[in-house]
Amino acid sequence: VLDFNDPFSTEVKPRILLMGLRRSGKSSIQKVVFHKMSPNETLFLESTNKICREDVSNSSFVNFQIWDFPGQIDFFDPTFDYEMIFRGTGALIFVIDSQDDYMEALARLHLTVTRAYKVNPDINFEIFIHKVDGLSDDHKIETQRDIHQRANDDLADAGLEKIHLSFYLTSIYDHSIFEAFSKVVQKLIPQLPTLENLLNIFISNSGIEKAFLFDVVSKIYIATDSTPVDMQTYELCCDMIDVVIDISCIYGLKDDGTGTPYDKESMAIIKLNNTTVLYLKEVTKFLALVCFVREESFERKGLIDYNFHCFRKAIQEVFEVRMKVVRSRKHQSHMQKNKRPTPNGTPRMPM
């Protein structure tokens, strides 16, 4: 395991910080997205009173750390090494409760962003305007516009117009939180352009309308093709994954209860009543490809399956290259540590 201060640590496992005022919904977001907790169960979560760090390593591409910061902790206090925290951070998610007075939250956001940017200009700043399920559609748009305007005006007044903030309307009671987290995670995947290109080639040669590459456990989509994402399409894909996993857990295990519910044989076809077919195929033991296909195009299923075979092989090659890079960086890091002198000034002997 690499040390946080190691120059290669962020390349191996980027860090995502969850920040915001107390009771803004940070812990609920983490539990719903990564622990499959029912949104209604989050009502009974106790307020977080210490920094919670969790490794998310359930997929070949979704591989990072989440740090959940209590809203009442002042991490700019001299007892905290906030520079160390921000130095290894890939994304900072700041959660704002849209149903509360957000002036204090905006002031904390400005302080946090400006301090973090000075330490690490490469951080992606993501603003979740949360709990919008309780707002009307017009009120959602007005709230987003107001928060967007005020946050950027504060940065402009400080002469920091070059800091880019991304804004998302989120709720744990629908798929918007998964959609937002998907966008955040995609920015931390260096192979994203390659994955998108592979998906574009796959759908253009297979007569497919839309395709998503999903992390099965979290329902975060790692990549999609270049066509626009429709929220209803994304929700259908998430529901399909839930159905496949639930049925596989009941009927997919062996008689003695061994085996895995999701493996290389996993595949599902769901025909909708609008002449569209949902087609799911296993890519790796953590990733699934979910496609939208017209019924007339699905008649050429043999062609789609052949192209999928080529696609899966290409994905595995991308993953193998990634693993070689990680191993190489770990080796370089190990060599650098061995070159550092010991406290008495003598060089370290390689083990």
Asked whether the predicted pLDDT for residue 110 surpasses 80, the reply is: yes
Q: Read off the pLDDT of residues 10-21 as tens digits, 9 standing for 90 and up.
A: 344 678 989 999
Q: Does 250 share its domain with 183?
A: no
Mean pLDDT of 335-345: 64
Q: Does 230 share its domain with 250?
A: yes
**Contact between residue 285 and residue 294 where contact means Cβ atoms under 8 Å apart:** no
Question: How many domains does the chain fold into?
Answer: 2
Q: Could you say which of 188, 213, 246 is where a domain stops?
A: 188
Residue 346 is predicted with a pLDDT of 54
pLDDT top residue among 130 and 321: 130
Residue 118 domain-assigned? yes
Residue 4 is predicted with a pLDDT of 33
Give pTM, 2 decimals.
0.81
Distance CA 274, CA 303 (A): 23
**CATH number of the domain that 303 lies in?**
3.30.450.190
Over the chain, what is the mean pLDDT?
84
| 3-state DSSP of the chain | CCCCCCCCHHHHCCEEEEEECCCCCHHHHHHHHHHCCCHHHHHHCCCCCCCEEEEECCCCCCCEEEEECCCCCCCCCCCCCHHHHHHCEEEEEEEEECCCCCHHHHHHHHHHHHHHHHHCCCCEEEEEEECHHHCCHHHHHHHHHHHHHHHHHHHHHCCCCCCCEEEEECCCCCCHHHHHHHHHHHCCCCCHHHHHHHHHHHHHHHCEEEEEEEECCCCCEEEECCCCCCHHHHHHHHHHHHHHHHHHHHHCCCCCCCCCCCCCCCEEEEECCCCEEEEEEECCCCEEEEEEEEHHHHCCHHHHHHHHHHHHHHHHHHHHHHHHHHHHHHHHHHHHHHHCECCCCCECCCC
Quote the domain boundaries for residue 96. 15-188
Q: Could you say which of 188, 217, 240 is where a domain stops?
A: 188
**CATH number of the domain that 56 lies in?**
3.40.50.300
Residue 121 domain-assigned? yes
Distance CA 112, CA 81 (A): 14
pLDDT band at 348 (very low <50, low <70, confident <90, very high): low
Asked whether the predicted pLDDT for residue 197 surpasses 70, the reply is: yes
Give the rounded distance of the alpha carbon of 3 from its chain centre.
23
Structure tokens at 245: 């996993």
Residue 341 domain-assigned? no
Residue 10 domain-assigned? no
Side chain identity at 171, as an amino acid letter? Answer: S
Residue 86 domain-assigned? yes
Q: Read off the pLDDT of residues 240-295 as tens digits, 9 standing for 90 and up.
A: 998 988 888 888 776 666 667 777 778 899 999 888 999 999 998 888 999 999 99
Q: Does 25 share its domain with 171?
A: yes
Burial of 348 (0-12, 13-18, 19+ CB in 10 A): exposed
Asked whether the predicted pLDDT for residue 2 surpasses 50, the reply is: no
Residue 217 domain-assigned? yes
Q: Does 59 share its domain with 177?
A: yes
By DSSP bridging, strand 89-97 and strand 165-169 are unpaired
Q: Does 29 share its domain with 153?
A: yes
Which residues, at least 6 apart from 116, have a Cβ–Cβ distance to it below 8 Å?
86, 89, 92, 123, 125
* Cβ-count burial 200-236 (b if 16+ within 10 Å, e if not): eebbeebbbebbbbbbbbbbbbbbbbeeeeeeebbeb
Residue 95 domain-assigned? yes
Q: Does 156 share its domain with 195?
A: no
Q: Does 184 share its domain with 270?
A: no
Q: Does 159 share its domain with 220?
A: no
Q: Does 35 share its domain with 183?
A: yes
pLDDT band at 5 (very low <50, low <70, confident <90, very high): very low
Residue 124 domain-assigned? yes
Nearest to 237 by CA among 280, 191, 299: 280
> CA Rg, the chain, in Å?
22
The strands making up 89-97's β-sheet, listed across from edge to edge, are: 52-56, 64-68, 15-20, 89-97, 124-130, 165-169
Which of 86-90, 166-170, 284-288 reaches the highest mean pLDDT?
A: 166-170
Q: Does 158 share its domain with 205?
A: no
φ/ψ of residue 133, rounded to 5: -60, -20
Residue 58 is predicted with a pLDDT of 55
Distance CA 3, CA 245 (A): 36
Asked whether the predicted pLDDT for residue 167 surpasses 90, the reply is: yes
Q: Does 184 share its domain with 43?
A: yes
**Hey, which residues does 126 pair with through a beta bridge?**
93, 166
Q: Does 117 share its domain with 203?
A: no
Residue 208 is predicted with a pLDDT of 94
**Contact between residue 75 and residue 109 where contact means Cβ atoms under 8 Å apart:** no
Q: Could you say which of 188, 216, 249 is where a domain stops?
A: 188
